[in-house]
Amino acid sequence: MTSIDDKPEEHLATPRGFVPVLAAICTVVAIVSSVGAPLIPTVADAYSVSFTSAQWTLTITMLVGAVTVPVLGRLGDGPHRRPVIIGALSVVFIGCVLAAIPSNLALLLIGRGLQGVGLGLAPLAMAVARDHLTPFEAKRTVAALSVTAVAGIGLGYPLTGVIAHLWGYHACFVVASAASLAVLVGGITSVPSSRHVPHKPLDIVGAVLLGIGLTLLLIALTSGSYWGWTSVQTIGCAAVGLAVVVGWTFHELRTRFPLVELRLLSKPAVLTADVTGLFAGIGMFVLSSAVIRFVQTPSDTGYGLGRSAMVAGLVLVPFSLTSVFANRLLPLAERWISKSMIMPIGAMAFAGALTLFLFGRDELWVVFVLMGVAGLGIGFTFAAMPAFIVSAVPPHETGSALAGQSSSTHGRWRGGQRFERHRARDIHSSRADVPGQRRLHSNRHRRYRPLDGHGNPGFCTILPRQPRRKTACQIGRREHRVGRNRQLCLRHRQPPRTE
């Protein structure tokens, strides 16, 4: 088991402005990836297409990201990390430019698909930080980058709403193009080389199988409401996609150089962090979508607050600010409580925010407060999560392990938004008449009760202990045993045995 401190000192040289550039990359990529979600109704109206067709502006980004994240993670574990980061940023910039052109829906979907390549940059940035910073700086930077990605998603919603309200939805991609160009220039000038890392071949077969399986599963998830959940098309896509993913799993376990090192899940720290992130992320995206819809729902229904889309986007600002603030509080919190308790405490805070939304959301200021509390909980959870992974995997597997965690992020994002969208359709259909409005008002607590389960902190209360560092006495006794063994082997002319 490798600790974050176990790395050679000759790889610690970094260019000036290295850490801010990494933070900017994670923030911009997170904002760009979240641009499509608030624009789905606008795109449907602008191109006169159905809601199902318009939501592909988000689905295609998640689909491309789910496939490219493990690929970039594996490439980032080799000597080509710098070209991979610069190349991915270039693709994101091209995608933003194409999406900003007011042409047709096909060009917009192509641009959104290219933007999905950038979703794999966050784990690469964390791997670079571990490999090129001192142990203390690397620990803080990796935690900050994890929270920065979450905060960027929270900032993407209000920024998109404000820009689209003032200048139209194409202006959102113009701003995204400028931001991606800025971080591209910063990456060219600041991201260090990783030529010292040994090269590993890319598992092309695994990448193809993963792409096919995830594509079929996402098509079934996206088009199920249009085809019918019991239709032959939906069941067929889901069954074939699941079979391909199972085949990909067996392939990854047998190949010498897998695309995703699934054996790392046998480590309790990695498994706990991934499962915790999965459930915490579902709750995060369900809560954000539910809050936005609740704030915009007309108040005459007896349910919502009847505010504008701009106000609904601004509700997420406290979430982003407090999640970043939680990362600043993390070093202070670790002085008073055990590191293994950080994630449970964060989950409990998030569960408290969900409970407040369930029972006391009648005023706008309450919604702002509960989103701030939710940001603290998510910030603590995601800031502590990479440390568990980094401390449990060898340095050359950091990018792949963090990419696996990032892949689960995209899955929980899509799953959370899909859950909220179906629930919102049920709410919308219940407003057809006045009795439906009364039924909605009387059952409002029950309709949001599933949210409480996603914030339950029970999923992360059983955490692996952090690997204990050997004391000087233990190291001395080990060296004494090794030296004594070598002397005995030399005396009997046998090859030495190391422990």
Express as a percent the part of the chain with pLDDT over 70: 73
Pick 448 or 77 by higher pLDDT.
77
Report the distance separating Cα 342 and Cα 461, nearest Å: 10
Q: Which sequence spans correspond to the domains of the chain?
A: 14-200, 267-392
Report pLDDT digits (tens) over 278-321: 787 778 878 887 887 788 788 877 778 888 777 877 888 898 88
Q: Is 346 exposed, middle or buried (0-12, 13-18, 19+ CB in 10 A)?
A: buried
Report the distance separating Cα 64 and Cα 66, nearest Å: 6
At a CB cut-off of 8 Å and minimum separation 6, what does 283 contact?
350, 354, 416, 451, 454, 455
Output the pLDDT for position 487: 56
pLDDT exceeds cutoff 60 at 465: no
Among candidate residues 301, 306, 302, 295, the one with its CA nearest the CA of residue 366: 295
pLDDT exceeds cutoff 60 at 457: no
Task: Output the CATH code of domain 14-200.
Answer: 1.20.1250.20
Residue with tokens 């007896």: 302
Compute the average pLDDT of residues 104-129. Answer: 89
| Distance from the Cα of residue 107 to its chain's centroid | 26
Output the pLDDT for position 264: 73
Report the distance separating Cα 337 and Cα 377, nearest Å: 15
Residue with tokens 């939710």: 374
Two structure tokens written together for 391? 């401390």
Counting Cα atoms < 13 Å in the Cβ hemisphere of 74 gives 18
Of the pLDDT bands very low, low, confident and very high (cuts 50, 70, 90), residue 400 is low
CA angle centred on 211, ends 205 and 212, rounded to 5°: 95
Of the pLDDT bands very low, low, confident and very high (cuts 50, 70, 90), residue 185 is very high
pLDDT exceeds cutoff 60 at 248: yes
Compute the average pLDDT of residues 225-254. Answer: 89
Q: Are 21 and 190 in contact (CB under 8 A)?
A: yes
Pick 116 or 261 by higher pLDDT.
116
CA distances from 35 to 120, 171, 435, 477 (A): 17, 11, 36, 57
Compute the average pLDDT of residues 175-199. Answer: 85
**Highest mean predicted confidence (pLDDT) among 238-247, 374-383, 406-415, 484-493:** 238-247
Pick 268 or 93 by higher pLDDT.
93
pLDDT exceeds cutoff 90 at 240: yes
pLDDT exceeds cutoff 70 at 1: no
Output the pLDDT for position 117: 92
Report the distance separating Cα 178 and Cα 459, nearest Å: 40
Q: Is 470 exposed, middle or buried (0-12, 13-18, 19+ CB in 10 A)?
A: exposed
Output the pLDDT for position 239: 94
pLDDT exceeds cutoff 90 at 152: no
Of the pLDDT bands very low, low, confident and very high (cuts 50, 70, 90), residue 399 is low
pLDDT exceeds cutoff 60 at 199: yes
Q: Are 147 and 33 in contact (CB under 8 A)?
A: no
In this structure, what is the dihedral angle of CA atoms 366, 367, 371, 372, given to the nearest 10 degrees?
-30
Output the pLDDT for position 140: 81
Output the pLDDT for position 499: 47
At a CB cut-off of 8 Å and minimum separation 6, what does 188 contact?
86
Output the pLDDT for position 115: 93
Compute the average pLDDT of residues 341-345. Answer: 84
Q: Are 474 and 482 in contact (CB under 8 A)?
A: no
Of the pLDDT bands very low, low, confident and very high (cuts 50, 70, 90), residue 173 is very high
Of the pLDDT bands very low, low, confident and very high (cuts 50, 70, 90), residue 178 is very high
pLDDT exceeds cutoff 70 at 383: yes
Output the pLDDT for position 244: 94
Two structure tokens written together for 245? 């993913």
Two structure tokens written together for 114? 């290219």
Output the pLDDT for position 403: 55
Report pLDDT digits (tens) over 26-57: 889 888 887 877 787 788 888 888 877 888 88
pLDDT exceeds cutoff 70 at 16: no
Pick 139 or 254 by higher pLDDT.
254
